[in-house]
Each structure stands twice: as structure tokens, then as C-alpha cells.
Amino acid sequence: MPGFELFGELEKEQVQQVLDTGVLMRYGFDGLRNGQWKAKELEAAVAQRMQTQYCHAMSSGTAALTVALASAGIGAGDEVIMPTFTFVASFESILALGAVPILVDVDDTLTLDPKAVQSAITPKTKVVMPVHMCGSMADLGALRSLCDQYGLLLLEDACQAIGGSYMGKPLGSIGDLGCFSFDYVKTITCGEGGALITNKAEYYENAHAYSDHGHDHKGNDRGAEGHPFLGYNYRISELNAAVGCAQILRLDEFLEVQERNYRILRQAIHAVEGVTFRRVPEGGVENYSFLNFFLPTEAMARKVHKALADVGVDACFYWYDNNWHYYRKWQHLLQQHTLGKLPNEAKQGLQKPHGLDFSASDHWIGRTISCLVKLGWSRAEVETRALQMATAIKSVMEAQ
Ligand SMILES: *Cc1c(COP(=O)(O)O)cnc(C)c1O
């Protein structure tokens, strides 16, 4: 997945153009910047690649999620449905606005189970936030219908699946809003950065203002701009945006390499009896940043995870025990460990740890192994790895 593996001349050249002007900020300083507007350039390139009308770049993917929610008017007490398997940014962005994250089961897509989503809808629900984890997507057809039926907003977190598609449309562009992260380990990187995309002018107008202290960005005197509402600072710097300008142009090249490597690995372990693969919804195309597969039992998944590490196959993850990605280790959320007080609406609305039953998620995540697909491997390296993986998995299965 990581774009950092292929940091080269194009990235350096883009950054140098910013350094030559010395204008590191995305707004203002028109006379000094010598025509360089890297954040704007990045936004135009992302909007074009994702076939949406609008894109707004920010300081991180977490910022993008927060601003996306804020731009649609989400606030204190509003319930946002999110999956049990994701990155902590999902609930961080929701809680940042005083809204309430509602954890909901995932299925064999490793993303939100539409049936579980439907059961979790209450009069307070405002948003369904599928997270396209590990390179593949939620069942967007089913979720879109549910959102239309109940009048909810569909916000796609496509931070881990940029470049994938559903029914021919880029992931992120199917929801009312979509978010990407360009942090250092994502498929394309800015160092730190993120973006939201949308086709709705109102959300875009709200987003650029909200992420820059509420500035309306009218006229060309920044000091004299109005503040139609309260905002915050989630701006991306021109230096970070410059790296992104180079990387977005390389996205399709990265995807091609990932797909080649993914297919070699998949074919090798496909032949191992007992291995099954994560379900990709019909009409979906992965971005191939991870190869995700199931073992028949939790015990076998643990053994396979260990066997892979033992033979030196690195970057394979067992998310079930992971600190960042699965609800079982989110004690800080479940026990409400916060520095200051939470807003009352969030405090009262949060699910209580006792009584939570995510056995349906455990059934899948407990048996899942995800292996990162890197860009820098040579063909020979991938083939060696594929053989090592197949041999290690087979030895665990045969020992049963
Ligand atoms: C990386 C990531 C984010 C947050 O992105 P940052 O840029 O690191 O803040 C959000 N959601 C998912 C699924 C991610 O993987």
C-alpha cells in the first residue's frame, strides 16, 4: 500500500517549486507565490481522478472525516453508524463534534453489514459511515438504499481503498461525501494530509470555510473575509500538498503494481485447502493494497499468523488482537477515558461496554489475516514470498 516506497524525482521537484517561492501557506500571498497553488492543484487532480465536482484537501484523513461530518451539519447527539473494524480515526472524528459513534458489526466483506446497520438505526441516526478497510469496499448498493430509505447521509471512509471502484465509480464518490488519507503509510502520501470529495456544492462550501477558521474565502483580502460560522484550523500546507501533487499522478501506476503483486500471492494461497477470501461485493474492484483471507478457525488463524512471521513473511496482520483497528482493544472509547469532560449528549449516547455483542464481527475478524501488498518488491521477491506463504499456511493446516 505505501506510496512512501516510491518517493522520487517528481515529488522532489514539486516540493522544490514551493521552496523556491517560500510561500508555504495555501491561502493568500498571491504576489509572492509565482503562480504556485499546490493545495488547489492537488484538489483539482483528486476531483478529476475521482470524477467528483469538488475536492477539499486538509491536514489529515482524520481532519477530512471531521470536516466532512461538520460540513453536513452533524453535531452534538447525532448518531453516526460505524464499523467495529476500522481505524480509531472513525470515532475520533465523530466525537470531536460531540456526535455519537455507534459501533455496528462487520460481515465477510470486513466492512459494515447492511442488515446490522438497519437494526442499529434510531430516530437520532444521521449518518452511515462505511469504512473500506484493507483495500476493498462495503456493499455500497445496499447501504445507499438504506440511506435513501431512512434519509441518512452516506459518508465513505475510503482512506484505505483509494483507487478501488464500485459499479464503475471510484470509491469515495458514491456516498454524499467521501474521505481519503494521505498519511505516510497510505497508497499515496503527502507526508500528512487528507481530502474530502463531494458533488454537493453546499458541503464543499462549508468544508473549505470550516477547515480554515470559518473564513468565507470571498474577495482577495484574507484579513477582511467574513466568518459565516465558527470553524477550526485543518489546513494542509503547500509543502505537503506538493508531495501529493506528484503522488496523485502516480496512483494508477501504484495500483497496477499492487494488483500484479496481489494476484501472484493470491494464486499461491488459493490452492491451499481451507483458505477462503474476503468477499468483495458484486461490482466492486479492490485497490489491491492488502490480501485478506480467512482460516477455518480462530486458533488456526493465530497459528498461521505466527507461522508467517517465523518464516520471515513480514507485514501480515492479525487484526483481532490489534490495538488500533478492532473494537476489542478500544478500552479508551468503551470506558470513556477522556482528558476533559465529554459533552453530555456524547456521554449518554455512547454504547455501554457490558451488553455489547459483536460475536458476528468476531466470527470474521477472529479468522482473518491481512497481508500488506508492497510496491517495491521485484517479481522474484513476490514469487518467493508467495511460495513461503503457501508453504507456511499448508504446514499449519496439515498439522491439524
Ligand atoms: C489512515 C486512516 C484514517 C485517518 O487518516 P490520517 O491521515 O492518519 O488521520 C482514517 N480512516 C482509515 C480507515 C484510515 O486507515
Q: Give residue 7's pLDDT.
A: 84
**Whether 176 and 292 share a structural domain:** no
**Whether 290 and 195 share a structural domain:** no
**Whether 202 and 339 share a structural domain:** no
* Count: domains in the chain: 2
Side chain identity, residue 337: H
Q: Which of 34-43, 52-61, 218-227, 232-241 has the lowest mean pLDDT?
A: 218-227
The mean per-residue pLDDT over the stretch 192-218 comes to: 98
Q: Which domain holds residue 192?
A: 3-250
Single residue among 194, 215, 250 that ends a domain in this structure: 250
**Whether 357 and 313 share a structural domain:** yes
**Whether 50 and 176 share a structural domain:** yes
Position in ligand 1 atom list of the atom nearest CA 181: 7
* Residues forming the active site: 186
Backbone angles phi, psi at 362, to 5 degrees: -55, -40
Residue-wise pLDDT for 78-104, tens only, equals: 999 999 999 999 999 999 999 999 999
Q: Closest Cα to residue 156, out of 355, 165, 275, 45?
A: 165
The band of 355, judged by pLDDT with boundaries at 50, 70 and 90, is: confident
**Whether 147 and 280 share a structural domain:** no
Examine the pLDDT at 3 and tell me if it is beyond 80: no
Q: Give residue 93's pLDDT.
A: 98
**Whether 98 and 226 share a structural domain:** yes
User: Using CA atoms, how far apart are residues 43 and 54, in angstroms rounded to an integer?
Assistant: 8
- State what percent of residues in the chain have pLDDT above 70: 100
Residue appearing with cell numbers 460531540: 98
**Whether 63 and 192 share a structural domain:** yes
Distance of CA 148 to the CA centre of its chain: 23
**Whether 244 and 174 share a structural domain:** yes
**Whether 269 and 184 share a structural domain:** no
User: HSE of 213 in the Cβ direction (CA atoms, 13 Å)?
Assistant: 7
Ligand 1 centroid vs 61 CA: distance in angstroms? 5
Return the CATH number at 308: 3.90.1150.10
Q: Residue 76: helix, strand or coil by DSSP?
A: coil
Q: Give residue 323's pLDDT.
A: 85
Return the CATH number at 169: 3.40.640.10
Q: Closest Cα to residue 160, out of 183, 142, 141?
A: 183
Position in ligand 1 atom list of the atom nearest CA 131: 13
DSSP tag of 191: B
Contacts of 16 (CB under 8 A, 6+ apart): none
The mean per-residue pLDDT over the stretch 321-336 comes to: 93
Residues with CB under 6 A from ligand 1: 60-62, 86-87, 89, 131, 157, 159-160, 181, 183, 194
Ligand 1 centroid vs 287 CA: distance in angstroms? 16
Ligand 1 centroid vs 84 CA: distance in angstroms? 15
**Whether 215 and 274 share a structural domain:** no
**Whether 94 and 177 share a structural domain:** yes
Single residue among 217, 250, 283 that ends a domain in this structure: 250
Secondary structure (DSSP) of 289-358: SEEEEE-SSHHHHHHHHHHHHHTT--SEE-GGG-TTTBGGG-HHHHTT--SSPPPHHHHHHSPPSTT---
Single residue among 224, 250, 276 that ends a domain in this structure: 250
Ligand 1 centroid vs 62 CA: distance in angstroms? 6
Examine the pLDDT at 1 and tell me if it is beyond 60: no
User: Are the CB atoms for 146 and 128 separated by under 8 Å?
Assistant: yes
Secondary structure (DSSP) of 219-233: SS-GGG---SS---B
User: Which residue CA neighbors atom 2 of ligand 1 most closely?
Assistant: 159
Average pLDDT over the chain, rounded to whole? 96
Position in ligand 1 atom list of the atom nearest CA 132: 13
Q: Any idea how long the chain is?
A: 400
Examine the pLDDT at 4 and tell me if it is beyond 80: no
The mean per-residue pLDDT over the stretch 183-193 comes to: 95
Residue-wise pLDDT for 44-80, tens only, equals: 999 999 999 999 999 999 999 999 999 999 999 999 9
The band of 374, judged by pLDDT with boundaries at 50, 70 and 90, is: very high
The mean per-residue pLDDT over the stretch 251-260 comes to: 96
DSSP tag of 367: T
CA angle 194, 196, 199 (to 5 degrees): 160
Examine the pLDDT at 365 and tell me if it is beyond 70: yes
Examine the pLDDT at 400 and tell me if it is beyond 90: no
Examine the pLDDT at 108 and tell me if it is beyond 80: yes
Distance of CA 346 to the CA centre of its chain: 23
User: Which residue CA neighbors atom 6 of ligand 1 most closely?
Assistant: 61
Other CB atoms within 10 Å distance of the CB of residue 247: 26
Pocket test for ligand 1, best of 157, 177, 325 (most atoms within 8 A of CB): 157
